[in-house]
Structure 1
Amino acid sequence: MGSCIICGTSVDGRICELHEEDVVFEFRGNQPGQLSPGRYYRGSVDGFAEFGVFVDIGDSVTGLLHKSELDQRLESLDWDAGDTVFVQVQNVRDNGNVDLGWSIRQDESEFRGTLIDDPDQDGAQLKEQTAETEEDGPVRTSAADTTSSSARDEAGTEQADESSEPHEEPEADTGNASAAEEAAPQQTDEQEETPQVTIAELDGYIGDVVRIEGEVVTARQTSGPTVFEVRDETSTVDCAAFKEAGVRAYPEVSEEDIVRIEGEVEKRRGELQVETEALVVLEDDERDAVTERMEDAMVKRARPDAVEPLAEDPAVEAVTEPIRDAATAIRRAVLEGRPVVVRHSATADGYVAGVAIERATLPLVREEHQNADAEYHYFDRRPLEGSVYDMDDATGDVTGMLSNRQRHGEKLPLFVFVAAAGTTESLDGLELLDVYGARRVVVDERVVDEEIESEVDALVAPSLADAPGTTATALAANIAAHVNGDVRGDLRHLPAVSFWENTPEGYADIAAEAGHDADDVREIREAIALEAYYQSYEDKRELIIDLLFAETGEDVPALAEHISEQFRAKMNTELETATANIENRTVDGETVLVLDTDSYTHQYEFPPTDLLLDALYRDHRDEAAAVVGFDTDEAYVRTDADVDVRAVVEDARAEAPEAGLDARGAREGRIEYLAGERATARDTLLAALGDHL
């Protein structure tokens, strides 16, 4: 006994009586008596008559679809000779005439699957069904029907004989008659139910017919079969289905469909493959059951064990579970064949944090995908101009991912935001990704707005856990250690690189253990900061790898030293100019240093304004509560005080509504205003800042 491909009921064959009308059959026989009344078949229009349409079923049998069976007038049919149609075999008469019925489903996608009706493989069963149903079938007595159908049957039979001659199938059947007779009882009475197995178990079933359930990852048409890549809760496998050379098999099946496949397990060129004999798209409860099973197994497989933090860090310890959630999302994306896109701020901290995740993820990508360019195809790191993920960024990402899905069948990526997207200014961009179902992870070391939590799949935000500050790299490196424990040793010095000052002792110690003293760490940080500025919208994968992961004694450390010297030379020149032109202001009793960055910095040269003001504040924090730089249409606030930049902007806007003040860049202390109202914006912002210092 076998089992129904749809419901699993024990049956002789592939489909039970209850579900026989849910699938469409491809007829491979050459005699009308081999058809099974009640089944739906794919056919093609052969010709028209006053009383109906002649339809070819397979290559050698023609039936009549009488006009009384149509749901519209015969003359209104929009059919041409050769068009594919779907009909139901109602009766096969003793004289060979075939009566057909109309099917309301005129597209293969409306059936739940396609099966092969091949009498050479299942002849006894088909003949028995035919004999049982012929007596009760409807009878038509038109002389024209009989003449036309008989003539067509004779022509079809001759054609079938000619086409089968080169294959010598009749001789093969005759020569092996005794063997076939011995095998027949084994196929019917003694056959066990087709085993349902996981893809991971297929290696133990080579040569056997099995049943698997899973999701269609890709469907690609070769010059021969159609190949469906199917994933279940354990692994993936290619399932080859052949209709005819270069023609799509099972055109109703789409990517992300949940399917049940039955076929023989083979090994080709060292890789397992299932030769598909039957395929059904699962629906409703069956689909939900398989989806839930795969979901549970995937999460279990992807979720890493908790590991010790790289070093003592209260901020990291406060978000241990969110760190595991983020690592789970990344590992799951790799297992599902889903690209991982890391969007990080174009700062030294953003770059190093992004590289930490890259370092851990790429080996997993290589393990899951054998093609040479997999690490570029399934992982991408894209710097952002700032820390806000706006509609411009999101539109570009969505356009790219939809193009990749359309052109290459690529799954929608997982987006991981590092040192970015943590404030409400990024909501529009995050929501656009959500419209298309792209998953999102946010890792942000600064203050994160609570609204972000409901818009992402995982959020690592120490500020929401009332934890002290840290760097994005400290968080990302610990995520990376969960993603792939094999690279933990490579990550030890990365957090130290991300601290411009006051590096925690624990991170300094593990960096030293990795062979990087304080000078090494500083040189690497400065070199990356310089390179992050130039062509800031590129990932610079190979260059950053050379700077961060060069072995001791190689020539590459000299590269970090060389670039670091350039960093200090350029920074010192700008600091000297800026310091000479600082305006000392007293605001509500607090000293605020004001710099006209539009007039006293070199535009479009390193260092960028935000990096310059960071350095300027570090040099003058003992004498000033804040440093503020005013550009043509932007201001930058640097302070250690607990200042809510949005509140400052709100107060200033009340005094100068005409200035167009906007706290869109509040995360990094950046405030926008209208260039024509620069003087007004400066005065009102300084006054409002004094109230909050």
Structure 2
Amino acid sequence: MGSCIICGTSTDGFICESHEEDVVFEFEGSHANQLTPGRFYRGSVDGFAEFGVFIDIGDSVTGLLHRSELDSRLESLDWDAGDTVYVQVTDVHDNGNVDLTWSIRQADREFRGSLVDTPEGDELPDEAEAADPNEHAVAGRPATDTSEITTDRPRTDGSASADTTADTDERDETNGTDGANERDGAALAEPESESEPEPDADRERVAVEALESRVGDPVRVEGRVASVRQTGGPTVFELRDESGSVDCAAFEEAGVRAYPDVEQGAVVAIEGRVERHRDDLQIEASGLTVLNDEERDAVEDRMETALAERARPEEVEPLADDSAVADRLDDVRDLAGLIRRAVLDSRPVIVRHDASADGYVAASAIERATLPLVRDEHAQSDAEYHYFDRRPLGEGVYDMDSATRDITTMLDANERHDEKFPLFVFCGVGGTQASADGLGLLALYDADRAVIDDEGTGDVEAFVDTTRTTAGALAANVAVHVDPDVRSEIEHLPAVSFWEDSPEAYADLAAEAGYDTERTRDLRESVALVANYQAYEDKRELVADLLFDGRQSLAARLATQFREKLDTAIGTAQAHLERHEIDGTVVNVLDTDAFTHRYDFPPTDLLCDELFRRTCEDATAARSDDREDASVLLGLGEDELLVRHGGDLDIDAVAEDVAERAPEAAVSVGAAGDRLEFLVGERETVREATIEVVAEQA
């Protein structure tokens, strides 16, 4: 029986079941059947093909990383033959073929441990040959592995610099690993080397940002443990204070967890010597202590003050002169501050948005502003995948099904990777009562929620009302408060988000950025088209190509497809419209269950919107009297009835009256707030009752 190199719990071997995916393996076998599916392996690029990349796992086995498993296009990869990459084995076939998937962690430092997969079983890496986790580290981040350090450093006794190799004996002396000085995690270790200074609890604290000038000196740093990683040598504690973060390497013995009681989130003081390895800084810890109440409070207050100041958005002007934004500017800035605070606090930002043109535009604006902040704050190569995600909602409402998936993913990330609970931002969804239960489930776990939508569902951390405007226009203004530098990149987005009657100020702003009316329309329609397919996927690169990367020909081509498909569907629908005129009100009914392609473009909502504009609004405009709400369109599905109107028709009142006339139909207002839901068996009864009711109320 052994202990887990990540958490120290008793387990067979070196890794417990809950942390199997936190370890990267070096493969020393000679046959594919010796690989273990599900494990992450360090490999090297062997070659490229049209269908993917061949990856060598060890010296004798090659697997295929299919292009469908990559998060970026094959031709955009910056890998060269021989480059080290990190992959997960998904399957080993009987014929020896090995299927791989890409790991978003592309450096040793981004795993919490390292082991060797041999034919005889798992082993700890040999210290002298252990992979250097800094080989692929991003410049500017501290080093993580002190198992073998060679560096020129100034000596504290004033003698000349020497080329010093920290071998095992030296580490034993400086870190107290010879058994004579056991650590209990609650007090600073007593070093035995005469060359190391006595740890001093009264030593002046040094801010992380000042460590650059203290290389070779003993220091004391205080802050919160942002992460804990176990390498083949030391345990690495990433410490974050109010000015930055630094890795602190504490050595017990090879692959053994130092200070096993100290976990992510603990407020600690660490003493040790500042070292430089390659271009990165780290602290070789000689002692670590968890701070008591008074000391902890002082550190947390200092960090909170600095964090609040950094998170506060700049006072920037809105994108354009828009009263709808001006009336909500405080709410816009509050939401921007929440997003900035989440990133600075190492919490993921999850944007949930409607799978519509407006929803994609809104979420993409926030994504465009947040990712640079994530990259600046977190130097890991895969930081944007850890700390930002965009997830469309195909059903247009945040129901319990969606919330349950989010909670499950959130808890799994917290359990496996100590990931903090995210901030959820809802764009074009979350405002109706139908989302209240889903938002309430998030609240039970203290996950922060912010909503950009019409109406309000109650207690959320931030709410921006879209009445008289679009989610895209408001989200773009949130974005420039998150990061003012993206202003020029997103100035055209508000005009794209309006399906018709875009405010002149936004149309002019888009034109100045090079997006005239035709190009803006192409963007809107092309995004609406791709939003319909794979509705639950973010389609990050495709949407970025359309909205930001100047792929004008792509947008124009997709927009042409959009119009051709929509025109065909409209022609079919108009031929099957039922027209009812009651007391001067025209009620058009389309049986969407019978006369639309339900699983192809356009979706029923978009079709009914356009059908209403072309048929009902045109008919209303042609009337000779002053009535503006004389036409209504009903889209009758299997168990729901969409209502499109040009006036102030109260859907709740309609539902109440229809329920009285069809008491066996269980009529209610649908989740999206623009339709009635009913029992399938009462379809015809509901149809007749609704025609009568809307004619009376229109």
TM-score, normalised to structure 1's length? 0.70
CA distance in 1, matches of 2:348, 2:388: 6
1:326 to 332, 335, 358: 335
Q: 1:193 to 1:387 in 2, by over 3 A?
A: same
Q: Which residue is 2:486 aligned to?
A: 487
Contact 2:275 2:283 in 1 (8 A): yes
- Determine whether 1:424 maps to 2:424: no
SS at match of 1:194: coil
CA distance in 1, matches of 2:279, 2:505: 48
Q: 1:596 to 1:483 in 2, by over 3 A?
A: same
Q: 1:323 Cα deviation (Å)? A: 0.9
Q: Which is further off, 533-542 or 409-418?
A: 409-418
Contact 1:206 1:266 in 2 (8 A): yes
Q: Which is further off, 434-443 or 678-687?
A: 678-687
Q: 1:61 Cα deviation (Å)? A: 7.9
Q: How does 1:31-180 map to 2 (within 5 A)?
A: 113-118=186-191, 120=193
Q: 1:680 Cα deviation (Å)? A: 2.1
CA distance in 2, matches of 1:261, 1:588: 82
CA distance in 2, matches of 1:268, 1:482: 37
Question: Which ranges of structure 1 fall in alignment gaps of 5 or more residues?
Answer: 1-56, 63-85, 87-107, 122-179, 464-468
Contact 2:177 2:251 in 1 (8 A): no
AA in 2 matched with 1:649: A
Contact 1:114 1:250 in 2 (8 A): no
Q: Percent identity?
A: 52
Contact 2:177 2:252 in 1 (8 A): no
CA distance in 2, matches of 1:437, 1:259: 25
CA distance in 2, matches of 1:511, 1:267: 49
Q: How does 1:606-685 map to 2 (within 5 A)?
A: 606-619=601-614, 620-622=616-618, 623=620, 624-667=630-673, 669-685=674-690
Q: Which residue is 1:218 aligned to?
A: 227
Contact 1:417 1:443 in 2 (8 A): yes
Question: Which ranges of structure 2 fall in alignment gaps of 5 or more residues?
Answer: 1-175, 621-629
Q: Which residue is 2:463 aligned to?
A: 459
AA in 2 matched with 1:116: A
Q: How does 1:7-406 map to 2 (within 5 A)?
A: 113-118=186-191, 120=193, 193-406=202-415
AA in 2 matched with 1:536: A
CA distance in 1, matches of 2:428, 2:482: 19
Q: 1:655 to 1:363 in 2, by over 3 A?
A: same
Contact 1:212 1:260 in 2 (8 A): yes
Q: Which is further off, 316-325 or 588-597?
A: 588-597
Q: 1:462 to 1:539 in 2, by over 3 A?
A: closer
AA in 1 matched with 2:441: L
CA distance in 1, matches of 2:570, 2:542: 27
Q: Which residue is 1:139 aligned to?
A: none
- Determine whether 1:523 maps to 2:522: yes
CA distance in 2, matches of 1:657, 1:269: 77
Q: 1:237 Cα deviation (Å)? A: 1.4
Q: String of CA shifts for 1:363-388, please: whole Å, max 9, x gaps.
A: 22222233333323322111101331
CA distance in 2, matches of 1:187, 1:400: 46
AA in 2 matched with 1:641: G
Q: 1:260 to 1:641 in 2, by over 3 A?
A: farther
CA distance in 2, matches of 1:420, 1:582: 30
AA in 2 matched with 1:596: D
Q: Which residue is 1:472 aligned to?
A: 471
Q: String of CA shifts for 1:482-525, please: whole Å, max 9, x gaps.
A: 11111101111111111111111011101111111111111111
Q: 1:585 to 1:482 in 2, by over 3 A?
A: same
Contact 1:112 1:282 in 2 (8 A): no
Q: 1:267 to 1:646 in 2, by over 3 A?
A: farther
SS at match of 1:683: helix
Q: Which is further off, 207-216 or 389-398?
A: 207-216
Q: 1:361 Cα deviation (Å)? A: 1.5
Q: Which residue is 1:585 aligned to?
A: 580
Q: 1:583 to 1:237 in 2, by over 3 A?
A: same
Q: 1:530 to 1:435 in 2, by over 3 A?
A: same
* Bigger share in helix: 1
Contact 2:397 2:672 in 1 (8 A): no
Query: Which of 1 and 2 has greater Rg?
Result: 1
CA distance in 2, matches of 1:597, 1:573: 15
CA distance in 1, matches of 2:666, 2:253: 66
Q: Which residue is 1:134 aligned to?
A: none
TM-score, normalised to structure 2's length? 0.69
- Determine whether 1:559 maps to 2:547: no
Q: 1:322 Cα deviation (Å)? A: 1.2
Q: 1:316 Cα deviation (Å)? A: 0.8
Q: 1:478 Cα deviation (Å)? A: 0.6
CA distance in 2, matches of 1:461, 1:60: 63
Q: 1:116 Cα deviation (Å)? A: 2.2
Q: 1:424 Cα deviation (Å)? A: 2.1
CA RMSD of aligned residues (A): 2.6
Q: Which residue is 2:82 aligned to?
A: none
Q: 1:59 Cα deviation (Å)? A: 6.7
CA distance in 1, matches of 2:650, 2:247: 55
Q: Which residue is 1:689 aligned to?
A: 694
Q: 1:394 Cα deviation (Å)? A: 1.0
Q: 1:627 to 1:284 in 2, by over 3 A?
A: farther
Aligned residues: 512
Q: 1:615 to 1:427 in 2, by over 3 A?
A: same
Q: 1:505 to 1:213 in 2, by over 3 A?
A: same
CA distance in 2, matches of 1:617, 1:404: 45
Q: Which residue is 1:89 aligned to?
A: none
Q: Which residue is 1:548 aligned to?
A: 547
AA in 2 matched with 1:679: E
AA in 2 matched with 1:621: E
CA distance in 2, matches of 1:627, 1:330: 40
AA in 1 matched with 2:512: E
Q: String of CA shifts for 1:386-427, please: whole Å, max 9, x gaps.
A: 331011111111111222222233222221110011122212
Q: 1:557 Cα deviation (Å)? A: 1.2
Contact 1:645 1:666 in 2 (8 A): no
CA distance in 2, matches of 1:609, 1:192: 69
